[in-house]
Amino acid sequence: MGNERGVVLIYLAIILTALLLFSGLALDSGRAYVVKAQLSKAVDGAALGAARALNSGDPRGEATRIFKANFPAGYLGTSTSTDPTTDPSFFTSTVDATTGVNIVDVRATAVLPTTFMRLGNIDSVTVRSAGEATRRMVDLSLVIDVSSSIGSKWSAVHDAAQQFINSFDALHDRLALITFSNGAQVIDPMPSSRGFDKTKLMNDVPTTLPGGSTLMVEGMYRGWDELRTVPAGQQSGLRVIVLFTDGASNGVPANYDGTAKALRTWDFPKSANDPDNQTWDSPHIDGLYDTQSGATNPSYSITVPWNATTTLTQIPLLPLTTLHAHHRSSGIPTSFPMQTASLMVNGRAQNAARGLRDKDPKTGQYPAEVWNINNAARNVLEEIADAARNDNGDYKIRIYTIGMGYLLRDLLGTMPEMPEDILKRVSNDATSPDFNSAQLEGKYYYAPTAADVAPAFEGIQNQILRLSK
């Protein structure tokens, strides 16, 4: 019996030791798992933060800051961990020259002393983790409204646009700057090779408001044209148009006297929510504006009730199509119909919902009255945006729009309709009733005040960064 009890005690000691080792293994493994999970979170966040800061600032510094915030020294009893400020293997950034993709790699290790596993002569566990973030390069046309209605808010718009430009990679992205008012000008053309002169582009945002009207049609056209100038096979994976405005499209570029000029109206009807007096019950018909310089030659003007059938004596009829004489890319359409049945406005065909009226049976043209000029200005803007999203380049084009101020949510025009609903269609925003799921989804941002413009641009920047990963 004594021998049997001795054997049992020996077996019991062996079993208890094994149980203790396995329990220790479970406890220490659990701690190691938690450390591994937190280390992975830290390097993933650091890689994404560095990718976000590649375009401006200090990407390694941003990675270091995020890593330390998520994995402080001594986390959960770790004895040592990667020092992101000194370890050369912590952060690397490379560029694939063929695809123009930035690759950020962040790696870190941590040593976790064991407790129970020491019984098995295992004093520590080394945990490793790696995070990677990629950023596709961007070709972007920044199209900015510089019309006089922006007024004192221009300073905030100017600063927000500069900040937005600064967020892109001067070595690998491509940016073009276009402004529009009475005409549309390409201030900085799209580079054909990778990279852009960031300092020049930022400085070229006008410091004072040029002023004029809202030839948004031509601004959108020139923004699309600049994207098309990048040769096929070299275009970036993200092709983007960003349009900022404080109003609605109100000018129609066409061949009125042998050259491309614009005829426009003022906004109507008079809005009760209009402290800056930008709407009228009896607006002007003005022209003719050179579609690039914005200069008037000849100069015509008439004031009539917005629903009247009166036209300028010199320009009684609208041409059948627009005319866009200024472009740099080959193969871009140079004319669009004044209305179309192929696009929707609030679920109805555009030419029914926002149609032109009083067609001349002999010429097939429509009178150049306020009603028709205003409708055509809105129709053609949507047509050009649709054509841009259907562009057959290396990659499809995505459009973002920003609308600033109270007029964006006023009911204006012949329907009437809110200008922001037009901008939602232009960007193909998913909240629009006319969203086209066959095209890339963009987004419309509403900036009620000048102070909201910078956050709107930042929102677009974040959208682009999300898509570029």
CATH at residue 442: 3.40.50.410
Q: pLDDT, tens digit, for every residue of 171-203?
A: 889 999 999 999 999 999 999 898 999 999 999
pLDDT band at 244 (very low <50, low <70, confident <90, very high): very high
Nearest to 404 by CA among 153, 224, 148: 153
Residues 116 and 185 in one domain: no
239, with CB counted inside 10 A (0-12, 13-18, 19+), is: buried
Structure confidence at residue 264 (pLDDT) = 98
Structure confidence at residue 342 (pLDDT) = 98
Q: Which of 116, 135, 154 is the last residue of a domain?
A: 135
Q: Average pLDDT, whole number, for the chain?
A: 92
Residues 332 and 361 in one domain: yes
Residues 36 and 173 in one domain: no
Structure confidence at residue 298 (pLDDT) = 96
Which range has the worst mean pLDDT, 122-136, 254-268, 280-294, 304-318? 122-136
Q: How many helices and strands in the chain, by DSSP H and E?
A: 9, 18
Structure confidence at residue 220 (pLDDT) = 98
* Percentage with pLDDT > 90 across the chain: 77
Residues 125 and 174 in one domain: no
Structure confidence at residue 14 (pLDDT) = 61
* Token couple for 289: 């504006």
pLDDT band at 126 (very low <50, low <70, confident <90, very high): very high
Residues 109 and 144 in one domain: no
Residues 219 and 257 in one domain: yes
Asked if 54 and 135 count as a contact pair (C-beta separation under 8 A), the reply is yes
- Cα-Cα-Cα-Cα torsion 164, 168, 174, 177, nearest 10 degrees, comes to 10
Cα 186 from chain centroid (whole Å): 19
User: How many C-beta neighbours within 10 Å does residue 327 have?
Assistant: 18
Residues 90 and 233 in one domain: no
Measuring CA to CA, how many Å separate 309 from each of 316, 317, 358? 10, 11, 9
Residues 87 and 146 in one domain: no
DSSP state letter for 265: E
Structure confidence at residue 142 (pLDDT) = 98
Residues 338 and 431 in one domain: yes
The count of domains in the chain is 2
Residue 258 above 80 pLDDT? yes
Q: At what angle do helices 2-52 and 59-70 cross, to 10 degrees?
A: 150
Average pLDDT over residues 289-306: 97
Q: pLDDT, tens digit, for every residue of 10-65?
A: 656 566 555 555 555 667 778 888 989 999 999 999 988 887 777 656 889 999 99
In 135-215, which ranges are continuous DSSP H helix? 154-166, 198-204
* Token couple for 272: 């009760």
Do the strands 184-188 and 238-245 form a parallel or antiparallel pair, or are they unpaired?
Answer: unpaired
The residue behind tokens 């004192």 is 152
Residues 323 and 385 in one domain: yes
Q: Which of 73, 105, 135 is the last residue of a domain?
A: 135
Residues 111 and 221 in one domain: no
**Side-chain half-sphere CA neighbours of 357 within 13 A:** 14
Whole-number Å distance between alpha carbons of 313 and 316: 6
Q: Which amino acid is at 404?
A: M
Residues 129 and 190 in one domain: no
pLDDT band at 121 (very low <50, low <70, confident <90, very high): confident
Q: Which of 135, 154, 174 is the last residue of a domain?
A: 135
More confident residue, 179 or 9: 179
Average pLDDT over residues 350-372: 97
Nearest to 105 by CA among 68, 50, 58: 50
Cα 322 from chain centroid (whole Å): 27
Asked if 397 and 227 count as a contact pair (C-beta separation under 8 A), the reply is yes
Residue 77 above 60 pLDDT? yes
Range of the domain at 45: 2-135
Do the strands 138-145 and 366-367 form a parallel or antiparallel pair, or are they unpaired?
Answer: unpaired
